[in-house]
């Protein structure tokens, strides 16, 4: 993932260039690296990731300007329950799963995503 690019730009690129089936396969490939209980944990915490992402949007900072590295730091690495379970390398995989989950969400609920993030799916 390109950590020095705005996260919303990365998401928009995935939406524009990859079909949902491909995104779902990529997500599943990464999830399959983990045992079943951890897969459930990652899947269940994906919504919390999206809520953390929304919270990065402030009066002074447009969500479209936030770099991928900042999203990774604030929405993945700083979550205590995630940090306890995974190594730094595994955290990158978890972030990728969350990202693919977000892309799939964008494709299934485009109006909601446009209203919150300005992403066109």
What pLDDT shows up at residue 111? Answer: 85
Q: Which residues of the chain have pLDDT under 50?
A: none
Q: Residue 85 in contact with residue 41, Cβ under 8 Å?
A: yes
pTM comes to: 0.91
What whole-number distance in Å separates Cα of residue 117 and Cα of residue 120? Answer: 9
Q: Residue 113 in contact with residue 106, Cβ under 8 Å?
A: yes
pLDDT digits (tens, 9 = 90+) for 48-81: 999 999 888 766 778 888 999 999 999 999 988 8
């Amino acid at each position: 993932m390109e950590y020095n690019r705005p996260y919303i730009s990365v998401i928009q690129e995935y939406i524009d260039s990859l079909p949902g089936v491909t995104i779902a396969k990529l997500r599943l490939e990464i999830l399959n690296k983990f045992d079943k209980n951890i897969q459930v944990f990652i899947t269940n915490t994906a919504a919390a990731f999206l809520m953390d992402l929304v919270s990065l949007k402030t009066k002074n900072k447009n969500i479209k300007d936030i770099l991928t590295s900042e999203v990774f730091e604030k929405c993945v690495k700083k979550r205590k329950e995630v940090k306890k379970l995974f190594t730094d390398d595994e955290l990158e995989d978890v972030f990728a799963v969350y990202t693919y989950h977000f892309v799939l969400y964008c494709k299934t609920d485009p109006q909601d995503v446009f209203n919150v993030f300005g992403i066109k799916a």
